[in-house]
Amino acid sequence: MADKTAKLHLNGQDYDLPILSPTKGPDVLDIRKLYGQADVFTYDPGFTSTASCVSTITFIDGDKGELWYRGYPIEQLAAKSCYLEVCYLLLYGELPTEAQMDDFRARVTRHTMVHEQMHNFFRGFRRDAHPMATMVGVVGAMSAFYHDSTDVNDEWQREVAAIRLIAKLPTIAAMAYKYSIGQPFVYPQNDLDYASNFLNMCFSVPAEKYEVNPALARAMDRIFTLHADHEQNASTSTVRLAGSVGANPFACIAAGIACLWGPAHGGANQACLEMLREIGTVDRIPEYIAKAKDKSDPFKLMGFGHRVYKNFDPRATVMKESADEVLDLLGVGDNPTLQVAKELEKIALEDEYFIEKKLYPNVDFYSGIILEAMGLPTSMFTPIFALSRTVGWIAQWKEMIGDPQNKIGRPRQLYVGSDRRDYVDLKAR
């Protein structure tokens, strides 16, 4: 990969730094030997200029607004594929043949139920627990229920853990929701496709028949697809970091879920909808735009901006189309929250501050609108992101374990604390 080098001149010495060339994207300076050779660290809080790994899974061009899974543009996958096929692609690197797809679907489908004892585990949570809080606990607890798939050095066990996680996350997310609203758990129904099964587990009750609307299932499937992976974002990096020390897959995914919950990451979809409700009416939008621009006010327009996309978020473009379809289908376009969303998007896109800082609506802005229209509470928005992203986390985790360059993730620091000093007895201070 390295056919060029960069020169570093430091303290009177020259060092050659190999330059690695990716398939796409900027060149990467290889500084792995720098500390050993030159006794110097690099400083990059937030990893804005640092590649933490080599990966073949997902590519993002933030300036062009491009997102590819294994080379396939997200727009094509969202229009032509389905989530389970995307899972196969992310996990195994290629689109499946029909036979491979049938086999994969059957394997995932047969793992959708959770251990019956886990029902008791759910009941230990407070009734009003946030579903994300429950999910962090229950997914972490999977390592206590599925001992036969926790050995990370065994390829077969890694595979079983991957399938279990993809299959059971919708069940766990739906159970967390049902528990939070005091309704009985609904068992998975294996004759339904992945998205329909999730909707059924969320919305059906024993007292009444529930028919899954195929158009809504398709919209949900698209939400899953658009969130399936996003290269080395905060939660994925968390999963890799936990995995780098050999933690079991369930513990690693629980760590990813905990990280995703943050409002600057996956928690933004809930925070965005809550913000739209707080704004309430279109006439109050200028007040919130002014708050977002005010440097002395910590308020940010949730659902706007992205660390990597500085042109537009391609997932948001697809999600916006989907939002329009779902709103039309459900006839809820005149819902006041959605009216505020549409007007806010329009005003922000024309505002000099947002244009200059390249702040566009991101995927979380529109996904919240769709989920709200479908009747899901805001507390379920991030769990849906988590279940969708599980496959990306696992694909990245598997890739890392198979990578001979893999090392324990252990950043260094720029220490600016006290110099060495001697302990002073309490009475003498």
Q: Which residues lie near ligand CMC (CB under 6 A)?
A: 230, 233, 264-266, 268, 292, 300-307, 357, 359, 362-364
Joined tokens for residue 6? 């960069």
Q: Which is nearer to ligand CMC, 122 or 360 (CB)?
A: 360
Q: Nearest approach, Cβ of 154 to ligand CMC (angstroms)?
A: 32
Q: Nearest approach, Cβ of 233 to ligand CMC (angstroms)?
A: 5
Q: Which residues pair with 9 in a beta bridge?
A: 14
289/280 Cα distance (integer angstroms): 14
Q: Which is nearer to ligand CMC, 266 or 392 (CB)?
A: 266
Could you tell me the strand order of the sheet in which 13-20 lies? 2-10, 13-20, 28-29
Catalytic choice (221, 229, 306, 313): 306
Among 203, 194, 190, 189, CA closest to 221: 194
Neighbours of 417 (CB within 10 A): 5
Q: Which is nearer to ligand CMC, 104 or 360 (CB)?
A: 360
Q: Nearest approach, Cβ of 198 to ligand CMC (angstroms)?
A: 20
Among 93, 78, 45, 113, CA closest to 226: 78
Among 305, 306, 315, 104, CA closest to 222: 315
Let me know if 364 is a catalytic residue: yes
Contacts of 88 (CB under 8 A, 6+ apart): 95, 96, 100, 101, 104
Let me know if 221 is a catalytic residue: no
Neighbours of 377 (CB within 10 A): 14
Q: Which is nearer to ligand CMC, 35 or 299 (CB)?
A: 299
Joined tokens for residue 126? 């407070």
131/116 Cα distance (integer angstroms): 19
Question: What are the distances in angstroms from CA 183 to CA 178, 201, 217, 394?
Answer: 5, 11, 22, 31
Q: Are strands 58-61 and 66-69 parallel, antiparallel or unpaired?
A: antiparallel
Q: Which is nearer to ligand CMC, 181 or 264 (CB)?
A: 264
Q: Nearest approach, Cβ of 313 to ligand CMC (angstroms)?
A: 7
Q: Nearest approach, Cβ of 48 to ligand CMC (angstroms)?
A: 8
Catalytic choice (364, 403, 419, 425): 364
Q: Which is nearer to ligand CMC, 53 or 161 (CB)?
A: 53
Joined tokens for residue 201? 């587990």
Contacts of 21 (CB under 8 A, 6+ apart): 1, 2, 3, 4, 27, 28
Catalytic residues: 306, 364
